[in-house]
A and B are shown apart, each in its own frame.
Chain A
Amino acid sequence: MKSSVKSLLVTAIAGAVFTAGYGTAWAQQSAAKDSVVVVATVGEPSTLDPVGVTADLVSIITQHVFETLYTFDKEWKVMPLLASGMPVLSADSKTFTIPLRSGVKFQDGTTMTADDVVASLTRWTQVSPRGKTTTSAIESITAKDANTVVIALKTPFAPLASLLAMNNGAAAIMPKSVIDGTNPLKALVGTGPYKILEHKPDQYIRLIRFDDYVSPQGAANGYGGQRVAKIKEIRFVPVPNATTRVEGMVAGQYQFADSLPAEMLPRLKDAKGVTPIVVKPFGFPLMIMNSRAGVMTNQGVRQAVLAALGPKDMLLAAFGDPGFFALEGSIYAPGTAFYDKDSAKNYNQNNPKKAGEMLKAAGYKGEPVRILTSTQYDFLYKMSLVAQAQLEQAGFKVDLQVLDWATLMQKRGEDKAWDAFFTYHTFVPEPSLITFINPAYPGWWDTPEKSAALTAFNTDMNPVSRKAKWVKLQELFYTQVPTIKVGEFYNLAASSDKLKGYVPMPWPFFWNAEIAN
């Protein structure tokens, strides 16, 4: 027995030494790793190919590796990235001539040519949800010479430059040699300031500085301008638990964390060496309605839904702190180019009595309204519960179906399986990038009036008259009510005070940022 007690004592002392010793070592090591920025993300990305998917997490990571011909400045205007200038339009607006920067290196050591761009853009039109929307407008993509690409259009297509600038479903430029039709890429090679060093799923993705990176010139401006990889390594670490992301920031284990719960703001404000960041604009929750099948094909019923809903209660339930949402009916928030309040007058009616009368007038006979929602996005679930109560108060019979996100994503593709579903949309600078504008997107908003308005909007190359055409589209959005915008919501992120030069944007990036000692 004496020997057992002795063994226990030895073990306990060894454990204490182990803990204390490594506690110090860990702190020292953290201090020595200043050229590494550790970014806590919401999870593991579904892919590292930025073309085929529109997931924000994929964009956040891959935008450091892959670049597009154009990008957005801080005012969300298109500016050149791999292109050397803005596209030159022919007189009939049917030909986009894109000049390329010369001497741009891929991460495999080869130099970018027009052939690589043609192959990349062709794949983009075949694989990307965004690229596919251009196929009806694009006639051909060809290389005029080694540094010039020409996109011939069937009709003028105003959103093209914005579509080429998006960093999700991105028209990313990669070597022709890694492209194998619509199959997965043979290698993940881009022109960005960072290249992929190592990927251990669910553990980390390591991006390392690309030493031969050729940056665009000009002052940094939003996602555009000069890009300098001052930090040697960016390490994206999946941390699915939001509280753990917050605690990791407070403890100094991460230098940046994204998508944090609004209720943790006081904790972040109180923490030393951490700066909370509220990202505006960020996104808007949506209640998409089924215009193709079921009870919601009746426009009068959809208008009654709009009259019944009280967005304030929905947003309060979803986000709690009023500092993290705004009651805003305009699809584009104030301060953005496409903001228009007048055409969004039908927003925020919160009038169950009027909704009940509208329902009667529409001939609603108490058919169950099947609304899909998911607890995987807590804010969507909470606001759908409030919506259920508000709709029932107006006389709707609601069948709220709580599903996991994968099931919801599958079910929403079956037009006879649902009447409405809750989702959200991240801010996009160009209206034609909004999902529900696409007539093929579940909800299937495809009326003749909308189609004509969208065509007029997409073919107008004049920014001023184009705005007027967007207002017309938003008017239709509030009369035909294919979808309900619940409001605006903001994202809470946090940055270490050691991270200098970070510019808050919806998809955080870390070129031009540095770690201060």
Chain B
Amino acid sequence: MFTYILRRLVGMVLVMLIVAAVIFVIARVIPGDPAAVMLGSAATPEDVAALRTRLGLDQPFLAQFLIYLGQIATFDLGESIFLARPVTQALAERAELTSFLTMMSVGIAVAIGVPIGIVSAVKRGRLVDQGTVALAMLAASVPSFWIGLTLIRYLAVDLHWFPVAGYGPPDASLAERLRHLVLPAIALGIPNSALILRFTRTSMLDVMNEDYVRTARAKGLPPLTVILKHALRNALIPILTIIGLTTAVMIAGAIVTETVFGLPGVGNLVVSAVLRRDYPVIQGALLVVSGLYVLINLAVDLLYAVVDPRVRY
């Protein structure tokens, strides 16, 4: 197991180096200029050129790349052009929100998707199954911004159960900040629950016809025990995979929801950086997100061994 983890981590370093190079090249190849964005519409080309010089953006491509590699080697992600602070600090400031939002939305997606997926598989072909499949299709096809705006309109504005947007005032307690994340987590969780539901249903259907499930039933075990203990455990690997992928995607992929709810998360940071061509933030944030993506995949692979003793590393 230890050797396997070590091998994966070494592989991860190589992957990250490739990712870093690709991100650097893409960030510089796309048109757009942070200096022009920063100075605003009244700036003349001469003003923009002067600021580019001050920011070091007029240096040769290779020179900038070498500086970037040197920074990565010392775990320095550089300084944001717009935020006037190190990229690591900008990421750290958003880590709490993004972590909670990811956990809450994945929790909601799992809480909806897994039980309904199981019921749907058990009641295969019946009205319940057809209804849940239709609902899943609907949930997957409704854009999260529409869900978000609908939740805001009714639960926040009309009923005052939740705040409309933001991450709470400066003196907000943790509970109050979490409360600001309930609606965004639902808006994110619903579309993702459809995917988990479909995977759970399919995976459960696969194992429900296996001999050991039939044997368990023949032994006279209660139906719930057969479903949850014998069938679900064996169906868990594809479900874990999709939950892991969903979690990884949500770290920086909640952009639309973060925008609708005015949340200062990592997704928002990346999009703002791309729109403003804040190269250090684009590079740093995407590098960290890529690293987390790889780590989550590793964690999911390790979990396989926990849920299925036949898996050995």
Contact = CB atoms under 8 A, between A and B. Distances in A.
Nearest to A126: B50
Interface stretch (B155-163, B189-197, B245-253): B155-163
A328 to B, nearest CB: 21
Nearest to A442: B45
Contact of A26 (B31, B46, B94, B179): B179
Contacts of B170: 198, 200, 204, 206
Interface string B41-55: 111111110000010
A181 to B, nearest CB: 11
B176 A376 contact: no
Contact of B261 (A22, A184, A244, A250): A244
Contacts of A438: 42, 44
A450 interface: no
Interface string B261-303: 1101000110010011100000000000000000000000000
A53 B275 contact: no
A462 interface: no
A53 B40 contact: yes
A507 B160 CA distance: 31
Given A44-B272, A129-B42, A237-B262, A405 B37 contact: yes
A111 interface: no
Contact of A240 (B152, B182, B259, B277): B259
B43 A253 contact: no
A22 B41 CA distance: 44
Contacts of A54: 39-43
Interface stretch (B1-9, B82-90, B206-214): B82-90
Interface string A301-313: 0000000000000
Contacts of A425: 41
A74 interface: no
A55 B42 CA distance: 8
Interface centre among A22, A202, A411 (most CB of B within 10 A): A202
B178 to A, nearest CB: 9
Interface in A232-249: 235, 237-241, 243-244, 247-248
B224 to A, nearest CB: 6
A203 B94 CA distance: 10
Contacts of A482: none
Given A202-B269, A405-B275, A241 B259 contact: yes
A206 B84 CA distance: 17
A410 interface: yes
A406 B37 contact: yes
Interface of A: 1, 18-20, 22-23, 25-27, 29, 33, 40, 43-44, 46-47, 52-55, 58, 129-130, 132, 169, 182-184, 198, 200-204, 206, 235, 237-241, 243-244, 247-248, 250-251, 253, 376, 403-407, 409-411, 413, 423, 425, 435, 438, 440-442
B36 A413 contact: yes
B275 A376 contact: yes
Interface of B: 30-34, 36-48, 54, 82-85, 90, 93-94, 149, 152-153, 156-157, 160-167, 169-170, 175-176, 179, 182, 224, 228, 259-262, 264, 268-269, 272, 275-277
A225 B84 CA distance: 34
B118 to A, nearest CB: 13
10 contacts: A20-B161, A22-B175, A129-B47, A130-B42, A235-B169, A239-B262, A240-B259, A423-B41, A435-B41, A442-B45
Contacts of B33: 406, 409-410, 413
A485 B276 CA distance: 27
Contacts of B228: 1
A58 to B, nearest CB: 8
A198 B31 CA distance: 34
B42 A247 contact: no
A46 B275 contact: no
A54 B42 CA distance: 6
Contacts of A198: 170
B44 to A, nearest CB: 4
Nearest to B31: A407
